[in-house]
Amino acid sequence: MRALVVNPPTSGLRMEQVPDPTPGPDEVKVRVLEGGICGTDREIVAGRYGSPPPGRKDLVLGHENFGKVVEVGRSVQDLRVGDEVVATVRRGCGVCRFCRTQRSDFCETGMFTERGIKGRDGYFAEFYVDRPEYLVRIPRVHRLTAVLLEPLSVAEKAVQQARRVLDRTEGPPGTIAGRPRTALVVGTGALGMLSVFVLADEGFEVTAVDTYVGKCPASSVLSTVGVRYRDASAGLSVLGTERFDLILEATGSAALDFELATLLAPNGCLLLLGLPADDHRPFPVPGADLVRRLVLQNQAIVGSVNASRRYFAQGLRHLTLFRRRWGTVAEQLVTERLPWTDFASVVNGRRPAGIKWVLTMGG
């Protein structure tokens, strides 16, 4: 079968023939219909992240996925041929207490694998096989947004983490001491926008910022969900003296992260989701000022990665709610679907500004 293959840490992505996988008795075989491209894929293609399976040089790329079951192993009960599914990304280490209780997103050993990212082939291929416990069945009504479920699961987990921090002040649900919680979402790519939807749905007053020269591709979606957009191309000073209970960063700039910490309200939480794509040279940070503020104002900086299956289920519930409240906003995050043979222009960033590019594998 054909697959999109990388050779980390060498840069580049090629379409190649790889062996067609055969399902074991407890596995299903899935024909991939769609794959989403995200910043992590671009980092892997650039040779800055990712690793092949043990003993190999090549890795099949791709972790945002949507497909259809085409073959079912003899002891599989929960899935049938024709079911449409999205697969989770991380596979646990099998050793730590989190991986042994279906919480590999909190793996302690670091010995987990991630499909299409770390030590295990991904989904940018004609087929893959996996066990049903890693597959989430998708109702037909969500076909057009199923490929967004993986990044949505990451947003779901992240927002839940932040909520736990904010709940330290124990206002009525969705509020802090009687006023709505405020959130700043930094970055209006798919992960930022899905986080905007989750936060807006949960009653936060959300502001989104990005640095587009010209119109932000998400601006019409933002106005549909009633979220204010600020152009921060000239810097965060555009936000004036505003401070936020929750700041969710989905851009991947370490320098920016420290600047964002200065915009936290007392008792606030800075939630970091972006893997820094900056170069790795050290840069100065006003450390004493930062720590002083964190301590004196009960603030927290929290990182969040990946998502276990429960957040995929939560994401599906939210897709239904988003549709009910705001119509096709989630669909509108897909800027373009294009045949996977056109992968090069997307991965190399040679497309006009947009939100999410989806490769279609056919079928």
| Chain positions contacting ligand BGC, by CB under 6 A | 38, 40, 63, 89-90, 114, 117, 150, 154, 305-306
Kindly state the smallest distance separating residue 348's Cβ from ligand BGC, in Å.
18
| Residue 51 DSSP one-character state | B
Distance CA 187, CA 208 (A): 7
Distance CA 333, CA 331 (A): 5
CB count, 10 Å around CB of 353?
13
Kindly state the smallest distance separating residue 294's Cβ from ligand BGC, in Å.
25
- Run of H or E including 42: helix 39-45
Kindly state the smallest distance separating residue 63's Cβ from ligand BGC, in Å.
6
- CB nearer ligand BGC, residue 154 or residue 208: 154
- CB nearer ligand BGC, residue 40 or residue 182: 40
- CB nearer ligand BGC, residue 200 or residue 273: 273
Kindly state the smallest distance separating residue 43's Cβ from ligand BGC, in Å.
9
Kindly state the smallest distance separating residue 13's Cβ from ligand BGC, in Å.
16
C-alpha pair distances (Å), 236 with each of 9, 218, 233, 272: 34, 19, 8, 17
* 8: its two tokens: 């980390």
* 333: its two tokens: 């995050």
- CB nearer ligand BGC, residue 76 or residue 333: 333
Q: Are residues 38 and 147 in contact, defined by beta-carbon separation less than 8 angstroms? A: no
C-alpha pair distances (Å), 31 with each of 126, 137, 362: 6, 14, 9
- CB nearer ligand BGC, residue 34 or residue 150: 150
- CB nearer ligand BGC, residue 88 or residue 182: 88
CB count, 10 Å around CB of 296?
9
Kindly state the smallest distance separating residue 276's Cβ from ligand BGC, in Å.
12
- CA 332 vs. chain centroid, Å, equals 17
- CB nearer ligand BGC, residue 136 or residue 176: 136
- CB nearer ligand BGC, residue 156 or residue 210: 156
- Terminal Cα-to-Cα distance of the chain (whole angstroms): 13
- Run of H or E including 3: strand 2-7
Whether omega for the bond prior to residue 25 falls within 30 degrees of 0, making it cis, is no
Distance CA 200, CA 203 (A): 5
Hey, what amino acid is at 297?
Q
Kindly state the smallest distance separating residue 47's Cβ from ligand BGC, in Å.
15
Kindly state the smallest distance separating residue 116's Cβ from ligand BGC, in Å.
9
